[in-house]
Structures are given as structure tokens and as C-alpha cells.
Amino acid sequence: MKKPDINTLIQLLGLIGVASSLIFVGVELRQSQQIAIAGQVQARNQAFLDLYTSMMGEEPFGRSLLADGYAADDKDPSSLSEAEYDMWFAWKSWQVMSLQNAFQQYEMGLLPKTVWEQVSSRIQGQYANCYQRPIFFATAIPSMRDYLQTLPQDCILGSLE
């Protein structure tokens, strides 16, 4: 058996070094993605808490709507006063924009599948209330509209008239 020369050993060590560096860079990229996802989750949660706190704080209509359950997906806003309806519309618009944000993050691969399943369930619940559908279509990006068309089109509340 022939003994390898020094040049072959140096090339082999160099190849091992390059491969090790690539593996290290891959691990670092994965960690960076996980940190970015965690930051997005934290930012969404903080935005929700800030809105919820502000609605419970100064605005009596917001507190009343939350106390009466109008933040839920299965409520009919037609019995609300004009000021209450404006607050309800603002609340639902914020929810829809938050859901669309999560949808876009999922499309970009920044949202884990388990979180997407929860978001998808929320979208379906809100989309099933036909009083809220105009809000979805007023703000939805084209890919979100395509996704909404794949959902059941039956209404649990309201009508499509």
C-alpha cells in the first residue's frame, strides 16, 4: 500500500476545514431564523396586549364591547350603536391585519406549522362570520384572498347579500 504524500494530506485537511465551516454557517443561519421567529411572535403578542389594554383602559365603548363578548368571532354587530360599531370595526380590522401578518409570515416560512394551525383556525372562525368578510377583502393581499377562497363559504352569522 502506498503512503499518501504531504500534499494529499494538506488537501484533505483543507477539505475537512471547508466542510466544517459550511456546517457551522448552516447551524448559525438556523439559529438566526429561530431568533427572528421568536421576535415576530413576541411582537405580535405585544401588539395584541397593547390593543387589548388600550380598549379596556380609556374607551368605555371598548370596555363594554369586550365585556359583552363582541370581540368573539360569532357576534352580530348590527345591534351596536354607531360609536360601538366604529369600535367593533376597528377591533376586527386590527384582528384581520394581525391574521394577515401571520399568514404572510407563514408564506415566507417564518411561522412554525403548529402556530400556523392555530392562526388558520382563527382565520376560519372569523371568516365564517359574514359581517367580518368585508374587512378581510378590504385589506387582503392577493395570496390571502386566494387562501380565503379555499375556506368554507358558509356563514355562521350574517349573510353574503
pLDDT tens readout for residues 131-140: 889 999 888 8
Instruction: Record the pTM.
Output: 0.65
State the average pLDDT over residues 104-115.
Answer: 85
Instruction: Give the model's pLDDT for residue 59.
Output: 61
Q: Do 132 and 161 meet the contact criterion of CB atoms below 8 Å apart? A: no
Q: Give residue-wise pLDDT tens across range 59-107.
A: 666 666 666 666 666 677 888 888 778 778 888 888 888 888 888 888 8
pLDDT at 41 over 80: no
What is the C-alpha separation between 94 and 83, in angstroms, rounded? 17
Sign of the torsion formed by the C-alpha atoms of 103, 108, 112 and 114: positive
Instruction: Give the model's pLDDT for residue 109.
Output: 80
- With vertex at residue 42, the alpha carbon angle to CA 100 and CA 124, rounded to the nearest 5 degrees, is 30
Q: Bigger pLDDT: 35 or 48? A: 35
Q: The C-alpha cell of 34 is what? A: 429561530
pLDDT at 5 over 60: yes
Task: Identify the band that residue 149 occupies on the pLDDT scale cut at 50, 70 and 90.
Answer: very high
Task: Identify the band that residue 9 occupies on the pLDDT scale cut at 50, 70 and 90.
Answer: confident
Number of H helices, E strands in the chain: 6, 0
Instruction: Give the model's pLDDT for residue 70.
Output: 63
Q: What φ, ψ does residue 92 adopt, rounded to 5°?
A: -70, -35
Range 72-75, long-range pairs (CB < 8 A, 24+ positions) = 73/122, 73/125, 73/126, 73/128, 73/129, 73/132, 74/125, 74/129, 74/156, 74/157, 75/129, 75/157
What is the C-alpha separation between 109 and 156, in angstroms, rounded? 31
Instruction: Give the model's pLDDT for residue 67.
Output: 67
